[in-house]
Amino acid sequence: MAFQNPVIKELVNKLRVLWALDHASALMGWDAETYMPREGIQERAIAQSELAVLKQKIILSPEIRRLVEKAEKQEDLNDYEKGIIRVVKRNIEKALKVPPEVIAEYARISQEATQYWRVAKEKNDFNIFKPYLEKIVKLARKIADYLGWEEHPYDALLDLFEEGLRTRDVDRIFGYLEPRIRRILEKIMSSGKYPAEHELEKIRYDPDKLRIVNKKILEILAFPLGSRARLDESAHPFTQSMGIKDVRITTRYEGFDFKRSILSVVHEFGHALYQLQIDERLMVTPIGNGVSLGIHEGQSRFWENIIGRSKEFAEVLTPLLKQYLDFLKDYDAEDIYYYFNTVRPSLIRTEADEVTYNLHILLRAKLEKQLLTEEIKVDELPEIWNQYMEDLIGVRPRNYSEGVLQDIHWSMGSIGYFPTYTLGNLVAAQMRHHLLKDMPDLYEKIRNKEYRPIQEWQREKIHRWGSTYAPKELLRKAFGEEYEAKYFIEYLEWKYLQ
C-alpha cells in the first residue's frame, strides 16, 4: 500500500471526484483535437470551462482544506503521502492567490487573442495582434504579482509550468549554453560533415505506407497499442493520458519529409511511456501523473533525439523504411542517419534541429522576462525579435509571420512555458549520461532492438514516482543533482564534433 495514514487516505478518497473530472476533460480535450466535428468546439469550450470552475470549487472547499491542514500535522508520513500533500496544497494556494475574476478575464482575453493571432499571422500584420498581446502581458504581470515572487516576477510564471523553476535557474542554464552552442554550431557548419539540407526533405510519400511504418516502429518499441495505448492523427502531434492504463498519442502526415511524422511518433512515445510506467498504486490519485513539463519533455526528447536520431536506430529503421517507401531503394542507414540529423540556422522553432533549438528558446525567455518588467514594450517586439534572431542564430526573418508571430503560445497566455522545452533537452542528455554509466552497452542495445532494459531503467529512476517528488527533488534523488546543462553540451560535442 502506498498510502497508510488514515487522514491521507480520506483526502485521496475525497479527491477522487476531482480526478474523475480531470479524466473527463482529458478525454474531451483529446477528442477535440482528433475526431470532433469542427463546429463542436463552441459547446466543447463551454463544457470545459464549466468543468474548470467546478474543479476550482472542489479544490477550495472547506472540507478539502481542513483535511489538508490535518494531514500536514500527521507524523511519520511516507514519501507518497508527503507528495499528496505537496501537490494538493500547491493547487489550493494557486487557486487562493489569484482572484477568480482575474483568471476568467485571462481566459477570455487569451481566447480572443488566439483568434486575432491567427489572422495577424495569416496577414503578416503584427498590429492586429498587438493590442491583445499588450493586454496579455499586463495581465500576466498582474497574475505574477498575485502569486507572489521574491527575485523576479518571471519566477511566479515559470513556477506555474515547472514547479520550483526560478529565473536564476533559467539565466544560469542559458548563460552556460549560449556561447557553447554557438561555438559548436559554427564548427558543424564549417566542417560540412552534417548536411544543412537533405534531398529527402522534399520527396513526397504515401501517407498510408507511412501509417504502417509508424505502427511497426511502435511495435518495435513495445508500445502497448490496443491494450493500453492508441496512435491517432491531429494537426499538431501530442500525448494525452486519461490514466495509467489509457495513454494516447498522435502524429501527422504532411505528405513530404517523412522523418517529421516518424520522429513525432517517437517523441510522443517518450511522453506516453512516462505515463504508462507510473506505479499503479498511484492510480486515481493526485500524484498519478508526470510531475512537470520539463521532466516530461526530457522523456520525449530522450526517445526522439538520443535514441531516435542515433546511428544505431537508423540501422534498425532502414530495412523497415525501405520495405514500405519505394523511393528509398538507393539509400542506406548512413544516408537515413544524416537525413535525420541535418543542422542549420533557421527561423522557425518547431523545425529547428537539436543543436540550434535551445537558441530559439533562449530568445523567447529573454523577451518574456523583459516584457514582464517593461524593459521592452510590445510595440518594439517585432524589431527586437529580429535583432535577437540575427545576433543569436545568424538569420533574420523577412516578415512577422516567420518572426514574432510564429508561435501560438503567447496568444494563449502561456508566458513562462517555453523554458520547459530547454529543460527537456537537458534532462534527456542528463539521462543519457547516467544511463551510460549503468548500461555501457546502451548503443549496442539500441542496435539490437533491446528497448525493455532502457525503459526499465527509466521506470526505476523517474517514471514510477509520478508526482511524488517535485522536479528538482526527483532529479536529485535519481542523479544526485538538479537541472544540469553540461551533459547536453557533452552530448553535442560527442555527436557532432568527433
Instruction: Please tell me which residue in 81, 163, 268, 473 is annotated as part of the active site.
Output: 268
H-helix or E-strand spanning residue 243: strand 239-243
Min separation Cβ 55 and Mg ion, Å: 24
| Cα–Cα distances in angstroms (integers) from residue 117 to residues 32, 401, 417, in the given order | 20, 10, 18
The answer to whether 244 touches 275, Cβ cutoff 8 Å, is yes
CB atoms within 10 A of CB 443: 15
Binding residue count for Mg ion, defined by CB under 5 A = 1
In the bound complex, what is the minimum distance in angstroms from residue 297's beta carbon to Mg ion?
A: 5
Q: Which of 296, 366 has the CB closer to Mg ion?
A: 296
β-sheet bridge partners, residue 121: none
- Distance between CA atoms of residues 22 and 65, nearest Å: 19
**What minimum distance in Å lies between the beta carbon of 318 and Mg ion?**
26
Residue with smaller CB distance to Mg ion, 240 or 300: 300
Q: Which DSSP category does 164 fall into?
A: T
The nearer residue to Mg ion, 300 or 468, going by C-beta atoms, is 300
Cβ closer to Mg ion: 275 or 300? 300
Site for Mg ion in 272-331 (CB under 5 A): 300
460/474 Cα distance (integer angstroms)? 12
Rounded CA separation 66/131 (Å): 43
d(CA 313, CA 220): 11
Active site residue 280: no
The residue sitting closest to Mg ion, measured at its beta carbon, is 300
As measured in angstroms, the least distance from the Cβ of 304 to Mg ion is 8
* β 229-233/239-243 pair status: unpaired
Neighbours of 113 (CB within 10 A): 23
Least distance between Mg ion and beta carbon 428 (Å):
11
Could you say whether residue 425 binds Mg ion (CB under 5 A)? no
Buried b (16+ CB within 10 A) or exposed e, 471-492: bbbbbeebbeeebbbebbbebb
CA gap 360, 150 in Å, rounded = 27
Neighbours of 106 (CB within 10 A): 18
User: By C-beta, is 5 or 300 nearer to Mg ion?
Assistant: 300
Q: For the CB of residue 229, give the shortest distance to Mg ion in the complex, in Å.
A: 16
Q: Which is nearer to Mg ion, 237 or 345 (CB)?
A: 237
239: β partners: 249
Active site residues: 268
Binding region for Mg ion (CB under 5 A): 300
